[in-house]
Copies of this chain bind each other. A is one copy, B any other.
Amino acid sequence: MIPPSTMNALILKHDGFAPVREGAAIDTLEPYLAYGALPVPKPGPGQVLIRVRMASVNPSDLYFIKGEYGQPRVKGQPAGFEGVGDVVGGHGLYARWLKGKRVAFVGGAGGSGAWAEYIVAPAATCVVVKPGMRDEDAAGHVVNPVTAWAMFDIVKESGSKSFVFTAAFSQLGKLMAGLARDNGYAMIAVIRKESQAQHLRDLGARHVLVSTDPDFDARFAALCKSETPRILLDAVAGQQSADLFMAMPNHARWIIYGRLATQAPSISEPGQFIFLDKKIEGFWLMKWFRQTSMIGKMRTLRQVQDRFIKGAWKTEVVATVRLGDAMEHLPAALRLGDGKVMIVP
CB atoms of B256 and A270 under 8 A apart: yes
Chain B residues whose C-beta falls within 8 Å of the C-beta of A265 in the assembled complex: 266-267, 270
**CB of A218 closer than 8 Å to a CB of B:** no
Q: Which of A71, A279, A282 has the most CB of B within 10 A?
A: A282
CB atoms of B278 and A279 under 8 A apart: no
Chain B residues whose C-beta falls within 8 Å of the C-beta of A281 in the assembled complex: 273, 278-280
The DSSP consensus for interface residues of chain A is loop
**CB of A338 closer than 8 Å to a CB of B:** no
Distance in angstroms from A33 CB to nearest chain B CB is 22
**CB of A258 closer than 8 Å to a CB of B:** yes
**CB of A283 closer than 8 Å to a CB of B:** yes
CB atoms of A264 and B266 under 8 A apart: yes
Name the one of B237, B275, B284 contacting A70, with C-beta atoms under 8 angstroms. B275
Distance in angstroms from A129 CB to nearest chain B CB is 28
**CB of A316 closer than 8 Å to a CB of B:** no
Q: In the complex, which residues 257-275 of chain A have their Cβ closer than 8 Å to any Cβ of chain B? A: 257-259, 261, 264-275
**CB of A310 closer than 8 Å to a CB of B:** no
Name the one of B261, B267, B282 contacting A277, with C-beta atoms under 8 angstroms. B282
CB atoms of B280 and A275 under 8 A apart: no
Distance in angstroms from A66 CB to nearest chain B CB is 13
**CB of A299 closer than 8 Å to a CB of B:** no
CB atoms of B279 and A274 under 8 A apart: no
Distance in angstroms from A41 CB to nearest chain B CB is 25
Query: Number of A residues contacting the other chain (C-beta, 8 Å)?
Result: 30
CB atoms of B264 and A275 under 8 A apart: no
Chain B residues whose C-beta falls within 8 Å of the C-beta of A257 in the assembled complex: 274
CB atoms of B270 and A264 under 8 A apart: yes
Q: In the complex, which residues 209-262 of chain A have their Cβ closer than 8 Å to any Cβ of chain B? A: 237, 256-259, 261
Chain B residues whose C-beta falls within 8 Å of the C-beta of A264 in the assembled complex: 266-270
Distance in angstroms from A227 CB to nearest chain B CB is 23
Chain B residues whose C-beta falls within 8 Å of the C-beta of A270 in the assembled complex: 237, 256, 259, 261, 264-265
Chain B residues whose C-beta falls within 8 Å of the C-beta of A256 in the assembled complex: 270, 273-274
Q: In the complex, which residues 270-311 of chain A have their Cβ closer than 8 Å to any Cβ of chain B? A: 270-284, 287
Chain B residues whose C-beta falls within 8 Å of the C-beta of A282 in the assembled complex: 272-279
Q: Which residue on chain B has the smallest CB distance to residue A71? A: B275
Chain B residues whose C-beta falls within 8 Å of the C-beta of A280 in the assembled complex: 273, 279-281
Chain B residues whose C-beta falls within 8 Å of the C-beta of A283 in the assembled complex: 274
Question: Knowing A265-B266, A266-B265, A266-B266 touch, does A284 contact B279 (C-beta < 8 A)?
Answer: no
Q: In the assembly, what is the distance between CA of A269 and CA of B263, in Å? A: 9
Q: 7 tightest CB-CB pairs across the interface, nearest first?
A: A70-B275, A273-B282, A266-B266, A237-B270, A274-B282, A280-B280, A264-B266
13 pairs across A/B with beta carbons < 8 Å?
A70-B276, A237-B271, A256-B274, A257-B274, A259-B274, A264-B267, A264-B268, A266-B267, A273-B281, A274-B283, A275-B284, A277-B287, A278-B281
